[in-house]
């Protein structure tokens, strides 16, 4: 029988000696010859209890049973072996030491040391806020040096962050693209590691890149306020928002996440400037061009003292072509700009806002930027505040012989007074009021005061109108009397109440209609309109003695069925329309009538007997009446509508017919 004695570990050199025993059996004897075991590297060079360690070298053999591997004096567990690689597990109790290999009693001590780490700990993550793709650093102890062992997960994504580098005291990772603000979770070699930003301890802030989308104005003056628009305009106490005009930093007045208000810097160059925004975390790539205009310069003022209303010429350069952005103030009073050019402003001295005369500040500003401040003396000039008559129709309407009252300041008896160009003899009550009588020959016009020491006449803003036969006085009598009529509330299917008109229940939220974009006064029943039986739509006004005429423009009158009577009435008193009491056949046809025992009806016109198609020329209906004394009247529409029919009115005017 053949007996074979051999060693399975092939890293040993073997020699073979063969013979036969006395029984004639063949004997094969395997004898050990030392092999040159060498260790070239280990990976990792540091790690934790329970982790695997790879040892690279030569002549290791393939049999783990004949080999022992130590870290210093601490034996490891061999996981696998080959001629050039050993994989071992670091066992409990191991400490830092050199890698030692024992093969069949022959010990090889390498020059490489494996560091057994303690529990990993993190003391800091910096920065605690960053953009996706930015690198952050984790600082601590016993962090190891194996990139693949580090797993850092951010809120908002299951993706593990890319590990850039890993040292025993520092790990560098990149913030994932899909990360959001929240806690982070760190695992090293399957060990969960607490960090200042884990769980309830804190959170990592994922920043979003800011955007700069526009400027409120493409041009302006130095010192002007400009609003920048965008998103993510964030500043901090340490790193506030900054805005640059070229290389010049602008003053930030206020800011929100979407707007920054800045002042165009005085050092900005004239012409186009690139405007850039820097947040606490980045310089925004977008650049907008802003044209800094040449600053206006004041070179002279024609006078340093004048009366109110006098013209003053301000000369200079770089004035804007449009006067809309120019403001000239005499104290608190804003001047009227008479004319302007690039080199000259002509203004009228205004009345002091606070009524205080004397020396004031004269300021000139363009687009709210003040370019000049000087001293100017405003002389107390007489001026007219108001001119009014006692006419009930309107305080600007007068008749020959009517008395008017003029109010103002500096109204002294040395003034020459004219009304409509005709000299009058006023009665001065005091320096703020006088009375005068409308003279014979007056046809209309303003009140004018002329003083010897003042070159410019004092002219009232108000002009008086002579009340003559045929004068349209609608503005003084009626409200909301022509197209476009104004609604008093929310419309329903185009129907609403007309502003300034009163009514009873049948006309509640009715009386006006929007039809194909055109508004009308409307009296109607049927379709979207309810019955208007004894419906009343009216206005009330107190009028002086005289003759009057109402002129109605009737745009439509139609009738299908049911009750159908519409009157335009003028009655004495407030809300005094009578009720219809019966239907009669009259010379005007069959319609409803009312009783008037107290004779309060001053005038009437039956409108329901008309037939007018919408879209044709409106038919005018005139209603005249006379008042023998000042009287309060009610005027408007009285209706009995119970079927399908109605009327639309496009305008009502009032004419004075004299006394």
Compute the distance between CA of residue 413 and CA of residue 436 in angstroms, rounded to an integer.
12
DSSP-assigned beta bridge partners for residue 269:
none
Residues 276 and 128 in one domain: no
Residues 457 and 487 in one domain: no
Compute the distance between CA of residue 68 and CA of residue 75 in angstroms, rounded to an integer.
7
**Which pLDDT tens digit goes with each residue over 504-546?**
999 999 999 999 999 999 999 998 899 999 999 999 999 999 9
Q: In the prediction, which pLDDT does 105 show? A: 82
Compute the distance between CA of residue 22 and CA of residue 87 in angstroms, rounded to an integer.
47
Look at the chain and report how many structural domains it folds into.
6
Compute the distance between CA of residue 553 and CA of residue 482 in angstroms, rounded to an integer.
9
- How big, in percent rounded to 5, are the helix, strand and coil portions of the chain? 0, 55, 40
Compute the distance between CA of residue 452 and CA of residue 8 in angstroms, rounded to an integer.
137
Q: What are phi and psi of 166, to 5 degrees?
A: -145, 120
Q: In the prediction, which pLDDT does 47 show? A: 84
Residues 639 and 504 in one domain: yes
Provide the CB-side half-sphere exposure for 193 (13 A, CA): 28
**Which pLDDT tens digit goes with each residue over 620-637?**
999 999 999 999 999 999
Residues 186 and 239 in one domain: no
**Which pLDDT tens digit goes with each residue over 79-104?**
999 989 999 999 988 888 899 999 88
Residues 369 and 480 in one domain: no
Q: In the prediction, which pLDDT does 306 show? A: 83
Residues 315 and 248 in one domain: no
Smallest CA-to-CA distance from 188 within 215, 212, 160, 211 is with: 160
Compute the distance between CA of residue 516 and CA of residue 39 in angstroms, rounded to an integer.
99
Compute the distance between CA of residue 148 and CA of residue 140 in angstroms, rounded to an integer.
18
Residues 411 and 361 in one domain: no
Cβ atoms of 562 and 644 closer than 8 Å: yes
Final residue belonging to a domain, choices 60, 93, 116: 116
Residues 168 and 232 in one domain: no
β strands within 49-96, DSSP E: 52-58, 67-71, 74-75, 77-81, 85-89
**Which pLDDT tens digit goes with each residue over 218-245?**
999 999 999 999 999 988 888 999 999 9
Compute the distance between CA of residue 17 and CA of residue 31 in angstroms, rounded to an integer.
8
Residues 6+ apart with CB under 8 A from 415: 382, 449, 450, 451, 458
Give me the chain's average pLDDT, please. 89
Smallest CA-to-CA distance from 467 within 394, 532, 386 is with: 394
Residue 1 has pLDDT above 50, yes or no: no
Q: In the prediction, which pLDDT does 34 show? A: 59
Q: In the prediction, which pLDDT does 120 show? A: 87
CATH code at position 361: 2.60.40.10
Q: Between vectors from CA 253 to CA 226 and to CA 332, what angle results, nearest 5°?
A: 80
Q: How many CB atoms lie within 10 A of CB 401?
A: 10
**Which pLDDT tens digit goes with each residue over 442-485?**
999 999 999 887 778 999 999 999 999 999 999 999 999 999 99
Question: In sequence order, what DSSP letters do the residues of 453-501 get, joined into one string?
Answer: T-SS-EEEEEEEEE--TTEE-HHHH-SS-BSSP-BSS--BTTEEPBTT-
pLDDT > 90: percent of the chain: 68
pLDDT > 70: percent of the chain: 94
Residues 181 and 315 in one domain: no
Radius of gyration of the chain (CA): 51
Residues 63 and 27 in one domain: yes
Confidence of residue 423 (pLDDT cuts 50, 70, 90): very high
**Which pLDDT tens digit goes with each residue over 251-302?**
999 999 999 999 999 999 999 999 999 998 889 988 999 999 999 999 999 9
**Which pLDDT tens digit goes with each residue over 352-378?**
777 777 899 999 999 889 999 999 988
Compute the distance between CA of residue 618 and CA of residue 124 in angstroms, rounded to an integer.
87
Q: In the prediction, which pLDDT does 5 show? A: 34
**Which pLDDT tens digit goes with each residue over 551-601?**
999 999 999 999 999 999 999 999 999 999 999 987 767 899 999 999 999
- Cβ-count burial 186-198 (b if 16+ within 10 Å, e if not): bebbeeebebbbb
Longest dimension (CA), the chain: 173
Domain that holds residue 346: 297-376
**How, if at all, do strands 219-220 and 288-292 pair?**
parallel
**Which pLDDT tens digit goes with each residue over 128-148?**
989 999 999 999 998 888 888
Q: In the prediction, which pLDDT does 353 show? A: 77
Question: In sequence order, what DSSP letters do the residues of 413-455 get, joined into one string?
Answer: TTSEEEETTEE---EEEETTEEEEEPPTT--EEEEEEE-TT-S
Compute the distance between CA of residue 409 and CA of residue 430 in angstroms, rounded to an integer.
9
Q: In the prediction, which pLDDT does 33 show? A: 52
Residues 316 and 426 in one domain: no
Cβ atoms of 207 and 231 closer than 8 Å: no
Final residue belonging to a domain, choices 441, 467, 493: 467
**How, if at all, do strands 85-89 and 77-81 pair?**
antiparallel
Residues 240 and 112 in one domain: no
Final residue belonging to a domain, choices 440, 467, 494: 467
Cβ atoms of 631 and 625 closer than 8 Å: no
């Amino acid at each position: 029988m053949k007996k074979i004695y051999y060693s399975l570990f092939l890293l040993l050199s073997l020699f073979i000696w063969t013979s036969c025993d006395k029984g004639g059996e063949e004997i094969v004897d395997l004898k050990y010859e030392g092999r040159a075991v060498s260790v070239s590297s280990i990976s990792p060079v540091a790690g934790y209890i329970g982790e695997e360690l790879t040892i690279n070298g030569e002549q290791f053999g393939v049999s783990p049973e004949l080999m022992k591997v130590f870290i210093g004096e601490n034996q490891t567990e061999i996981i696998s072996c080959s001629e050039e690689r050993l994989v071992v597990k670091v066992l409990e109790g191991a400490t830092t030491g050199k890698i030692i290999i024992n093969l069949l009693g022959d010990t090889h001590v390498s020059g490489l040391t494996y560091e057994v780490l303690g529990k990993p700990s993190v003391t800091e993550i910096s920065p605690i806020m960053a953009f996706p793709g930015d690198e952050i650093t984790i600082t601590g102890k016993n962090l190891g040096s194996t990139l693949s062992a580090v797993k850092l997960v951010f809120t908002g994504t299951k993706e593990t962050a890319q590990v850039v580098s890993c040292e025993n005291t520092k790990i560098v990772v990149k913030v994932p693209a899909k990360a959001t603000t929240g806690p982070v979770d760190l695992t090293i070699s399957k060990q969960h590691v607490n960090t200042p930003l884990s769980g309830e301890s804190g959170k990592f802030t994922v920043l979003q890149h800011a955007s700069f989308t526009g400027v409120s104005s493409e041009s302006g003056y130095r010192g002007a306020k400009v609003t920048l628009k965008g998103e993510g305009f964030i500043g901090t106490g340490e790193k506030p928002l900054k805005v640059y005009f070229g290389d010049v930093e602008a003053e930030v007045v206020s800011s929100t996440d979407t707007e920054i208000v800045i002042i165009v810097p005085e050092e900005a160059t004239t012409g186009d400037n690139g405007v850039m925004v820097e947040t606490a975390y980045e310089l925004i790539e977008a650049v907008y061009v802003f044209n800094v205009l040449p600053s206006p310069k004041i070179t002279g003022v024609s006078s340093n003292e004048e009366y109110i209303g006098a013209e003053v010429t301000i000369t200079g350069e770089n004035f804007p072509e449009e006067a809309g952005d120019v403001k000239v103030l005499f104290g608190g009073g804003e001047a009227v700009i008479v004319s302007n050019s690039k080199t000259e402003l002509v203004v009228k001295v205004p009345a002091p806002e606070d009524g205080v005369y004397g020396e004031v500040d004269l300021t000139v500003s363009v687009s709210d930027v003040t370019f000049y401040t000087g001293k100017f003396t405003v002389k107390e000039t007489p001026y007219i505040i108001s001119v009014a008559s006692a006419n009930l129709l309107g305080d600007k309407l007068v008749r020959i012989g009517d008395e008017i009252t003029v109010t103002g300041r500096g109204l002294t008896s040395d003034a020459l007074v004219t009304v409509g160009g005709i000299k009058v003899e006023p009665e001065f009550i005091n320096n703020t009021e006088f009375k005068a009588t409308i003279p014979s020959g007056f046809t209309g016009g303003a009140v004018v005061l002329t003083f010897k020491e003042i070159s410019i006449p004092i002219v009232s803003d108000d002009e008086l109108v002579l009340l003559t036969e045929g004068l349209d006085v609608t503005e003084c009598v009626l409200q909301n009397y022509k197209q476009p009529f104004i609604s008093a509330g929310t419309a329903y299917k185009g129907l609403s109440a007309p502003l300034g008109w009163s009514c009873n229940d049948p006309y509640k939220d009715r009386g006006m209609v929007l039809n194909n974009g055109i508004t009308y006064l409307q009296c109607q029943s049927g379709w979207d309109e309810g019955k208007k039986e004894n419906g009343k739509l009216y206005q009330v006004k107190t009028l002086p003695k005289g003759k009057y005429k109402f002129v109605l423009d009737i745009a439509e009158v139609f009738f299908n069925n049911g009750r159908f009577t519409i009157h335009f009435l003028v009655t004495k008193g407030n809300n005094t329309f009578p009720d219809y009491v019966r239907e009669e056949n009259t010379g005007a046809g069959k319609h409803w009538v009312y009783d008037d025992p107290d004779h309060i009806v001053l005038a009437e016109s039956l409108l329901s007997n008309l037939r007018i198609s919408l879209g044709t020329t409106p038919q005018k209906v005139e209603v005249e009446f006379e008042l023998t004394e000042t009287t309060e009247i009610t005027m408007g529409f009285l209706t009995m509508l119970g079927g399908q029919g109605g009327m639309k009115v496009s305008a009502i005017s009032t004419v004075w017919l004299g006394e």
